Homo-oligomer: A and B are copies of this chain.
């Protein structure tokens, strides 16, 4: 495949490349719904991706993530940068909808062709979220967005997985680091490239920033990149250029140390392995529901005449999943 002509591409892929927002929105919905007919389109667009900087934004509820993001997008738009946003929301307990659905979201997006915002429910498997997010980021990338933000709530497995999409990860906190920070997925702290202390107009912001700076130096273990710490106040609109400068500094660092390609290689390696697992899972589920021999094997385990490990060995042999 070449990056050249578009004549051979499916019409939906051509529409996205031509800047058709409605076509983009429809493709994202189909991707989110796991519509298999979207696969050839995503495959066709893949060679046109890999140009956008993908910036992960995460942090506990209530730190003002959306406000920071809103301001950051505004800042980038004044610089003429085209921006995509994917917000991954936790699903609400019973409605199947989105807890955060009622939040006012990036009003500035309305009427500005240089911004595309999409909220996605974090339903189903964590792996599924990471996969859908990855593909939606690619669609925004192919659409020509130069920066794509991926916003998640820092309290679950999906964050760490979604992080695997980003070239730069920003973790947002507020001056009073309480239980919320403790309950954040610990791994997120380790993957942060930039810490943002929002609500810096509140007392304690300097202390928090110093504390994070120390943590960052500790965590860097002598690595060339020491996570930067910046203070913002999204409500007052301060610190946003500094936050963006910190993100840019990390992006520049990736380029200067020739890490962009190796990072991407690592991410793609994980992605392919995930996709392989997905295929094997499908085969396993099918065998599990259809094969009466496997049902009998389960009976034996329930009756404690066979143990789960021996049963797993038998399944591997029986389904042809060589191990």
Residues on A facing B (Cβ under 8 Å)? 1, 3, 39, 42-43, 46-47, 49-50, 60-62, 90-94, 99, 126, 153, 155-158, 179-180, 182-183, 185-186, 189-190, 215, 218-219, 261, 264-265, 268-269, 271-273, 275-285, 288, 297-298, 301-302, 304-305, 307-313, 315-316, 319-323
Q: How far is the CA of A190 from the CA of B92 in the complex (A)?
A: 10
Nearest B residue to A321, CB-CB: B280
A-B contact pairs, 10 of them (CB 8 A): A39-B309, A46-B307, A47-B305, A91-B186, A94-B215, A126-B157, A155-B185, A157-B157, A179-B180, A279-B316
Q: A319 — which chain B residues lie within 8 A by C-beta?
A: 276, 322
Hey, which chain B residues are within 8 Å of A278, CB to CB?
A: 312
Contact B182 A99 (CB under 8 A): yes
Q: How far is the CA of A3 from the CA of B269 in the complex (A)?
A: 47
Question: A323 near B93 (CB under 8 angstroms)?
Answer: no
A284 and B279: CB pair below 8 A? no
Q: Give the distance in Å from the alpha carbon of A129 to the alpha carbon of B10 in the complex.
A: 44
Q: Which of B46, B272, B321 contacts A321 (CB 8 A)?
A: B321
Q: Chain B: which residue is nearest A123 at the CB level? A: B186
Expressed in whole angstroms, the Cα–Cα distance for A269 and B47 within the complex equals 41
Interface centre among A126, A273, A315 (most CB of B within 10 A): A273
**Contact in complex: A93, B219 (CB < 8 Å):** yes
Partner of A155, one of B183, B215, B276: B183
Q: In the complex, which residue of chain B has the Cβ closest to the Cβ of A160?
A: B157
Residues of B within 8 A of A288 (CB): 269, 273
Partner of A298, one of B94, B158, B265, B307: B265
Minimum CB–CB distance for A134 against chain B, Å: 9
Which residue from B49, B179, B219, B308 sits with its C-beta under 8 Å from A46? B308
Are A315 and B276 within 8 A (Cβ)? yes
Q: Are B302 and A268 in contact (CB under 8 A)?
A: yes
Who on chain B is nearest to A301 by CB? B268
Q: Which of A47, A62, A186, A218 has the most CB of B within 10 A?
A: A186
